[in-house]
């Protein structure tokens, strides 16, 4: 009933002009976010395509490895996604001087999460032992994840500073940097999967090595941009990079980020679990599932980017003490999300 009420308001001519302006704002913020997410997903697609040219066991090993990796890192990313609305609220309410503190506390969240996540990912054999997997496929999965774990600190740093930029509505840098990462991922995959330019031929494991290097490259680019960009220099984030953990701020960020983290982790785990359950059925079945999963992951990025843009803009309006505008923005995002989901469903069908 509520959804139909929102749609009815949307069709109301008097309100349409306001919705039209908000749609433009949402699209302007969501497009770079969506393209960045698409490029990030594209790296996984490139891994599947290039590892698939070695063998179905290699692509299946990469797929199962990704099914273990993604829920864990998306849980961490979900916690850090408390930063954009917090930063956007402070930016909108004229409290820019408090943004640097939030970013530094985000670094503590990254550090505290990194240790248990790295241990689980590196010692992935305790998960794999419960699956009746082909020996080669299990070996590819284990070593792929052990290569990926070296890029985990970089990935969390990248997300932390991407959240800073998203929070102040600077979404284009992440898009450009992620596309650079995608372009870098292809030759690095070529090197490490097939053993070119003097590199060892690692098969599917080479995807993990390439991704770890790409994560560090993207993190360095994002941090450099944040340090050099004029708008962010005034925030003085890098004036004192390390500060003591602030329990009050960490509690606030965790309270906001934990539901996001659990939701993201659960959504991805639903599909990731399928890959793990299918593993005893052989490499061909897992590889086929992984291709289908990549298609759905690409489709998911569009409504997700609208949601992330809505989070930033709603928080900004609340910071401006304009709850009615925030409500209209939220309704606009629901309408736009429904349109995007309907179009994508039709395309996939």
Task: Give the number of C-alpha atoms closer than 13 A to the C-alpha of residue 291, restricted to the C-beta side.
Answer: 11
| 43 three-class SS | helix
Which residues contact residue 89 at a Cβ distance below 8 angstroms, ignoring those fewer than 6 apart? 315, 316, 318, 319
Q: Which helix (H) or strand (E) holds 174?
A: helix 172-194
Output the pLDDT for position 58.
80
Cα distance between residue 188 and residue 176, in whole Å: 19
Mean of all residue pLDDT scores within the chain: 83
CB 225 within 8 A of CB 177: yes
Which residues contact residue 51 at a Cβ distance below 8 angstroms, ignoring those fewer than 6 apart? 58, 59, 61, 62, 193, 203, 204, 206, 207
Output the pLDDT for position 149.
92
Give pLDDT < 50 ranges for the chain.
Answer: 13
Output the pLDDT for position 13.
44
Cα distance between residue 198 and residue 211, in whole Å: 18
CB 250 within 8 A of CB 105: yes
Phi, then psi, of 241 in degrees rounded to 5: -65, -40
């Amino acid at each position: 009933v509520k959804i139909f009420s929102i749609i009815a308001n949307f069709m109301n001519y008097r309100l349409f002009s306001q919705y039209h302006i908000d749609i433009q704002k949402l699209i302007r913020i969501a497009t770079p976010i969506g393209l960045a997410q698409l490029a990030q997903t594209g790296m996984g697609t490139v891994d599947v395509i290039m590892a698939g040219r070695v063998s179905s066991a290699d692509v299946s090993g990469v797929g199962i490895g990704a099914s273990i990796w993604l829920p864990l890192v998306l849980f961490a990313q979900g916690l850090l996604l408390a930063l954009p609305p917090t930063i956007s609220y402070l930016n909108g309410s004229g409290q820019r001087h408090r943004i640097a503190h939030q970013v530094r506390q985000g670094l503590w969240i990254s550090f505290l999460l990194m240790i248990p996540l790295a241990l689980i990912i590196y010692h992935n054999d305790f998960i794999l032992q419960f699956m009746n997997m082909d020996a080669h496929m299990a070996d590819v999965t284990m070593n792929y994840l052990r290569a990926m774990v070296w890029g985990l600190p970089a990935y969390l740093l990248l997300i932390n500073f991407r959240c800073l930029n998203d929070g102040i509505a600077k979404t284009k840098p992440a898009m450009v940097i992620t596309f650079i990462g995608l372009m870098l991922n292809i030759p690095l995959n070529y090197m490490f999967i097939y053993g070119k330019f003097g590199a060892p031929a690692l098969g599917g494991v080479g995807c993990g090595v390439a991704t770890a290097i790409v994560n560090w490259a993207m993190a360095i680019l994002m941090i450099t941009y944040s340090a050099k960009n004029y708008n962010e220099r005034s925030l003085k984030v890098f004036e004192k990079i390390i500060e003591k953990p602030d329990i009050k701020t960490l509690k606030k960020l965790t309270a906001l980020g934990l539901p996001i983290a659990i939701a993201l982790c659960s959504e991805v785990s639903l599909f990731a679990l399928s890959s793990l359950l299918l593993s005893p059925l052989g490499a061909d079945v897992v590889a086929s599932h992984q291709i289908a999963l990549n298609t759905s992951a690409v489709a998911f990025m569009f409504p997700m980017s609208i949601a992330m843009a809505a989070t930033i803009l709603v928080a900004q309006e609340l910071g401006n003490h304009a709850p009615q505008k925030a409500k209209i923005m939220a309704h606009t995002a629901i309408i736009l999300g429904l349109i995007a989901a309907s179009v994508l469903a039709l395309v996939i069908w």
